[in-house]
Amino acid sequence: MIVEKFPDRIIEIDQEQYLYFGGTAYLGLPTNKDFQDLVIKNILNWGTTYGSSRTANIKLKAYDEGEKFLASHISSESTVTISSGMLAGKLVIDLMKTQTDCFFHFNDTHNAIRIENSLPLFVNNKLNERLLDSKQEKIAILTDGVPSFETKPVDLSFLKQIPSHKEVTLILDESHSFGILGGNGAGIYSSIQYPVKRKIMVSSLGKAFGLTGGVIAADFGFINEIKEMETFTSAAGMNPAFVQTLSDAAEIYTLQHIKLLENLKYLDSILIQNNNIKFDKNYPLIYLSSKELVEKLKTEKIIIASFKYTKNAEPLNRIVITANHLKEDLDKLAAVLNS
């Protein structure tokens, strides 16, 4: 389906209007007038793009302000912005290759933080035996903040089982939890208190935060190492107008996050749970297991997200709730799901 206007809560297809429950604009920012005004103001000041290296002799104040805001919001020692969430993940993996003996991954971890020869974290529903053996080594564990097809944060309690002679780095992709979960949408990074040597967060900013770019959050030392990588120094940074907007829009993020939580609470109060849907009142994605339900929604003029994560996979069907949906939108959605 080709559309000619950004699909917010309403999408127009062949001159007909449908309710739209897709995309990833969880906080509803791309069409938010106050947010747009900030972006426009910052484009007028910082231009439409800045193609120079971040290590050039001219430094832009926008990066300092935006990255300080992100570090404060995430509760990390330091952050650095990157031109995309995918590149943020790849930079972290490339650096960790030089510091890691073995990688372990959850199933269906996003491609941004995948690496060849990584081992499965669990085998036959049990922790991989290599994590429990006597060998001293540096390991990295790769996971999404909320795993694919799930509606709750990843369970990291297994970290307590890994013996102390394994030096653990946790790499967390929060593209679908940053801006949504945690206090004020801070994500889950700061809440992870398990015994690891280092935790690293990567995230797209083009989803909840409404701006093309990505972020890496970690300790000062690791972020400084990222800034010294040739891939970082030879590439242009995230659009400085967008980075400045991150800082300027702090209050808008808070207000939109409250609206999102209110929508989820309301939907939870009217939705009857059944085996065809997976929903949690704290998370804005509803997964559908019934193809018939997808078609029924469409006949009721409701469009949801449907796509293949990999070439040969079955389509992933999910309903996305945003801060911009109205109660009457949620009433109509619930009426179809409840029937």
| Contact yes or no for 253/185 (Cβ under 8 A) | yes
The reported pLDDT for the residue numbered 95 is 98
215, 208 Cβ separation under 8 angstroms: no
Q: What percentage of residues in the chain have a pLDDT greater than 90?
A: 85
- pLDDT tens track for 199-246: 999 999 999 999 999 999 999 999 999 999 999 999 999 999 999 999
- Residue 173's DSSP bridge partners are 144, 202
Integer Cα distance of 13 and 2 in angstroms: 8
Determine the Cα–Cα distance for residues 193 and 198; give it in Å rounded to an integer: 11
Contact between 154 and 194 (Cβ < 8 Å) = no
Q: What is the DSSP string of 198-262?
A: EEEEEEESSSTT-SS-EEEEE-HHHHHHHHHSHHHHTSB-S-HHHHHHHHHTHHHHHHHHHHHHH
Residue 308: the pLDDT is: 66
Bridge partner list, 198: 169
Separation CA 126–CA 116 (nearest Å): 22
Q: Over 80: is that where the pLDDT of 171 sits?
A: yes
For residue 310, what pLDDT band results from cuts at 50, 70 and 90? low
Which two tokens mark 312? 């040969």
CB 144 within 8 A of CB 157: no
| Domain 10-29+251-338, second-level architecture | Alpha-Beta Complex (3.90)
Residue 7 to residue 31: CA distance in whole angstroms? 9
* Rounded mean pLDDT, 253-273: 97
The model's pLDDT over 276-298, given as tens digits with 9 standing for 90+, comes to 899 999 999 999 988 889 899 99
**Torsion sign (Cα): 255, 261, 264, 268:** negative
CB-based contacts of 186-189 (< 8 A; 24+ apart in sequence): 186/73, 186/74, 186/75, 187/74, 187/145, 188/145, 188/153, 188/154, 189/74, 189/75, 189/76, 189/217
Angle at Cα 145 formed by Cα 103 and Cα 143, nearest 5°? Answer: 10
Q: At what angle do helices 220-228 and 85-97 cross, to 10 degrees?
A: 100
pLDDT of 312 strictly over 70: no
CA distances 158 to 19, 235, 265, Å, are 41, 38, 30
Structurally, at CATH architecture level, domain 35-248 sits in 3-Layer(aba) Sandwich (3.40)
Lowest mean per-residue pLDDT among 30-34, 120-124, 304-308: 304-308
- Mean pLDDT on 178-188: 97
Pairing of strands 119-120, 102-105: parallel
Q: Cα separation of 213 and 237, whole Å?
A: 9
| Residue 126 three-state SS | strand
Q: pLDDT tens digits, residue range 35-90? A: 999 999 999 999 999 999 999 999 999 999 999 999 999 999 999 999 999 999 99
pLDDT of residue 339: 87
Q: Domain coordinates of the chain in residue numbers?
A: 10-29+251-338, 35-248
Q: What is the pTM of this model?
A: 0.95
Residue 251 CA to residue 139 CA, distance in Å, equals: 39
Report pLDDT for 4.
Answer: 83
